[in-house]
Homo-oligomer: A and B are copies of this chain.
C-alpha cells in the first residue's frame, strides 16, 4: 500500500505526488462543498491529474479517494493536536490554537470551509459504511489525542477521556453553528467555555446519568 498520502505533515502542494495532490484537493473540495456536490470530474480537474491516471491512483474512484482523504485528515489533525499539547503552556492554550485556526479558515473562505470530516460524515453515513468508518476513526483519533494531551497536563485518564468527548462535540458543534450563522462568535464563546471548563474545579459528572447511559 502506498503510504505517502498518510504523512502527518502538511507540505506545499507543489511538492506533492499526483496521488497526494488528489487527496489534498479532495479534502479542500469536501470542506467547501461537501461530498455529494463534489464530482469525480471536479476532483480530477482541480488536482490537475491527467485523466488517464486518476483511476490508476484510485481504482475505487471517488469513494476510495474520499476514504483516504478523511483518513489523512484524521491523522494530520491528531498529529497537530499532539504537537500543540506537547508545546503549549496550558491545555486551554493548546485548544485555542485550533479555535483560532478554524476562525481564520471560516473568515478567509467566506464561511465555506468547515470541518473536513463532519460534512462528509453526515452525508455518507447511511449509504457508505466504509466512509462512515473512516470518519468515525478520524473523530476517535482526535478525541484520543486530546485525552492524551490532557493527561500530559495531569488529568486522570478517565476524566481526560470524558473531557475529550465534550471538547470534540464543542469543536464540531461550534464549527457547524459558526459556519451556518456566518459569525465566529459561537466558536469564540465555545473557546471561552473550554477555558472555563479546564481551569475550573475537577470536572463534575452526573453519575446517575452516566450509569443510565452505560446500562
Contacts and interface: CB of A to CB of B under 8 A. Distances in A.
A122 B114 contact: yes
A73 B190 CA distance: 24
Residue with the greatest number of chain B CB neighbours at <10 A, chosen from A114, A123, A172, A199: A172
A142 to B, nearest CB: 10
Interface string A144-180: 0000000000000000001001101111111011011
Interface residues of A, number: 59
Contacts of A127: 33, 37
A126 B33 contact: yes
Nearest to A207: B192
A195 interface: yes
A37 B33 CA distance: 14
* Copies, count: 2
A189 B185 CA distance: 24
B190 A165 contact: yes
Interface stretch (A5-13, A77-85, A131-139): A131-139
A111 B209 CA distance: 21
Contact of A122 (B119, B139, B185, B186): B119
21 contacts: A34-B36, A119-B123, A122-B123, A123-B123, A135-B180, A136-B180, A162-B189, A168-B186, A169-B169, A169-B174, A169-B177, A169-B189, A170-B173, A176-B176, A188-B209, A188-B210, A192-B206, A196-B204, A196-B205, A199-B204, A200-B204
A185 B173 contact: no
Contact of A173 (B96, B132, B174, B213): B174
A118 interface: yes
B184 A213 contact: yes
Residue with the greatest number of chain B CB neighbours at <10 A, chosen from A32, A140, A189, A196: A189
A38 to B, nearest CB: 10
A55 interface: no
A207 to B, nearest CB: 8
Contact of A121 (B162, B172, B176, B205): B176
